Amino acid sequence: MITFCEERKTFKLDTPSSSYVFGIEDDRYLVHYYYGRRIGNEDLSYLARTEGTRPSERLREKNSFLDFAPMEYPVSGTGDYRPAAFEAQREDGTCSAELYYVNHTIEKGKLKLEGLPATFGSEAECETLTVCLEDPILKLKVFLVYSVFEGLDAVVRSLRVENGSKDSNVYITNIMSTCLDIDNDDYKLLSLHGSWARERNIETRSIAHGTQGVGSIRGESSHQEHPFIALCSNNTTQTTGDVYGFSFVYSGNFTASAHLDQFNKVRVLMGINPYHFRWKLEPGEQFTAPEAVMVYSHEGLGHMTRTFHDLYREHLIRSPYRAKERPILINNWEATYFNFDTEKLLSIAKEASKRGIEMLVMDDGWFGVRNDDNSSLGDWYVNEKKLPGGLKPLVDGVNALGLKFGIWMEPEMVSPDSDLYRAHPDWTISVPGRTPTRSRNQLVLDLTRPEVWEHTWNSVKTVLKSANIEYLKWDMNRQLTDLYSAGLPADRQGELLHRYVLAVYRMQETLVTEFPNLLLENCSGGGARFDPGMLYYSPQIWTSDDTDAIERLKIQEGTALVYPLSCMGAHVSDCPNHTVGRVTPFKTRGHVALAGTFGYELDITKISEGDRDLIPTQVADYHKYGDLVRNGDYYRLASFSENGKFDAWMVQKKDGSEILVTFVKGLNEANTKVRFIKLQGLEPGVSYKDETTGRVYGSEVLMYAGLPMDSLNGDFDSKLVHLLRVD
């Protein structure tokens, strides 16, 4: 999978369908040669176009060489004027860098990243290349790490930096986790954008000269932009075209960009956003950068998507719930908001248990004196006016009804109106002497300080040990501002944002270690921290606070472009929808939520009897199709966000024996005929039987002629079609 040609000084990383090739030029520079469809073991150095411009041959033109060569890991200050992957500064203010090849190793398996989420694999599943580079002046060593996995068209990259000086500090001011220099082939840049309640909408744009991309400086991966981009050849579809996908395994500030230069070459960079980032490396210290994943597909967006899905399902998510059935929950947030007590929650649980729902989740409002969102965050003790006797009597009562119990917390936050803030006003991230910016009338605890971290963790642990709590929804409802930590010296204030993310990771690692059977669902005001970093700790993330089924078509389509359906928190909610006011059929709400973790977000005691009677059918559908949805191959068949008329997707079992097609119609139209949906990825020469109608179709007919979508009437109607292979 990974080879080094000693004669040519070239590295070659092969996946089932792709090859990634770079080499050592002039015994010092790492130069990128090729990334694309899998090819043979030929000399590809000519692709760099560096003959005659190498500094050993023409020292007077080193500047021209560095300004053009497709560098594997480019630095700034010595002649490459394109955006750099790495920048560092010495105590004396000098900031130019040069990284020269020293040595490399190729090993089976993959090591963990210290303090960071990362993909994993056994010695039988993956190989890892580590290339050591060194700046002899700065006394810095940079270790570039590449891993490839058996059966997956992905190259995973990370790096660590070591200060080898004995007496000098170095400050890292820019560190990208991956870089790719390739010829521009009329690529389009695909990204995911949005805002609260409309996250991860797909957007494609032409690449112009200069730099374009996405990023976050909000302290989280954000609602607005997402740590993913892709380069797509012109007219790429789900099944055709070249696609280079880049995904960042990180939950804080990021940048992902594409720079088109004067020679029509594209440089892609992805890493920690340099905004407010300056990391001090003392002699002997190391810094590890987060991991970035690169996926190449010559079969369109669909193959890229399924590669990401398989990689993240099998080599990133660690939870015991990764592949198994999760309890169908009902959350009381949209049912009651802050207005509930033990009696009300037990009435919801009682009615839910009759319909086959398996867990009650108590959301915001159970602690302190929390009757609205203006107080009590940080005071993680039970409000006994709402819950007499505390959590245990409620949880025992829910368990007695045959349901599991889950709870909501927002551990990273504090309300100014709280006992915690009154006792420790200095525990927040805030600038001395300045009134801190509030959002949702709350502030952010400085988890980088040991005493704050310990208090916060002990609060979470105490709650979880107080009763039989089997699920935790971990929320984070605001971004970071007023960037200053009372626990850091002046020359380390630029480390705050990254240290904050590391502190959150450490707390969640401690959480899943001490409570290994807990089902953890991460959330951040909906989907503001829906990223691969969070998946390392929780097998599911709340996709969006917008639960409207039609809005969710766009949100879940964009999310599923990168992430497995098994990790998308999706619930059936009440109508008119609380966010957009739309009314959709209860059946359709169930079908859309089935393409995720599946649950309910409503007051089951108040919905219509007709809707209530549909719940057992939806529960049965979840149990019937859940394993297929969680672990099958996902194919996007049609996009409501593109055509404005209908949406369709399918999930196929890995062995091809079973398929579930979901079709959702938009507004009804007069005088239309049956629509045919063309399936994808079927094995030629086999037949499938529609479980409902009994009709048998050949796989070629399903892919090239289509599956009929009839028996639909009214706005926003939907349909499931279950196909079984006929042997």
| Chain centroid to CA 190 | 16
Order of strands across the sheet with 10-14? 2-5, 10-14, 18-25, 29-37
Compute the CA torsion angle 250, 273, 264, 230 (nearest 10 deg). 30
> How many other CB atoms are there within 10 angstroms of residue 492's CB atom?
16
In three state form, how does the secondary structure of 133-166 look? EEECCCCEEEEEEEEEECCCCEEEEEEEEEECCC
CA distance to 216, 401, 652, per residue, from 683 (Å):
42, 46, 11
Of 336, 237, 298, 14, give the one whose Cα is nearest residue 147: 14
Q: Are 150 and 1 in contact (CB under 8 A)?
A: yes
Residues with Cβ < 8 Å from 695, sequence gap 6 or more?
Answer: 689
> Which residues pair with residue 131 across a beta bridge?
104, 144
Rounded to whole angstroms, the Cα distance separating 237 from 101 reads: 40
What region does 64 belong to: left with phi over 0, alpha with psi -120 to 50, or beta? alpha
Q: Say whether 475 is catalytic.
A: yes
Exactly one of 531, 545, 574, 717 is catalytic; which is it? Answer: 545
Q: Which two tokens stand for residue 513?
A: 């270690």
Residues with Cβ < 8 Å from 673, sequence gap 6 or more?
Answer: none
Q: Which two tokens stand for residue 164?
A: 């080898």
Angle at 23 between CA 19 and CA 29, to 5 degrees: 140
Rounded to whole angstroms, the Cα distance separating 146 from 26 reads: 22
> How many other CB atoms are there within 10 angstroms of residue 305's CB atom?
24
Is residue 405 within a helix (H) or strand (E), and if so which, with residue range?
strand 404-409
Of 37, 33, 46, 34, give the one whose Cα is nearest residue 15: 37
Exactly one of 475, 611, 633, 647 is catalytic; which is it? Answer: 475
> How many other CB atoms are there within 10 angstroms of residue 512's CB atom?
17
Residues with Cβ < 8 Å from 6, sequence gap 6 or more?
Answer: none
Give backbone dihedrals phi and psi of 611, rounded to 5 degrees, phi first: -65, -40
Q: Are 569 and 521 in contact (CB under 8 A)?
A: yes
Place of tokens 């970071």: 480
| Burial class of residue 262 in the structure, from the number of CB atoms within 10 Å of its CB (0-12 exposed, 13-18 middle, 19+ buried) | exposed
Rounded to whole angstroms, the Cα distance separating 302 from 245 reads: 11
Q: Say whether 647 is catalytic.
A: no
The H-assigned helical ranges of 270-357 are 300-315, 333-336, 342-354
> Which residues pair with residue 688 across a beta bridge?
697, 725
Of 122, 100, 92, give the one whose Cα is nearest residue 109: 122
Of 641, 646, 645, give the one whose Cα is nearest residue 203: 641
> How many other CB atoms are there within 10 angstroms of residue 671's CB atom?
4
Question: Could you list the active site residues?
Answer: 475, 545
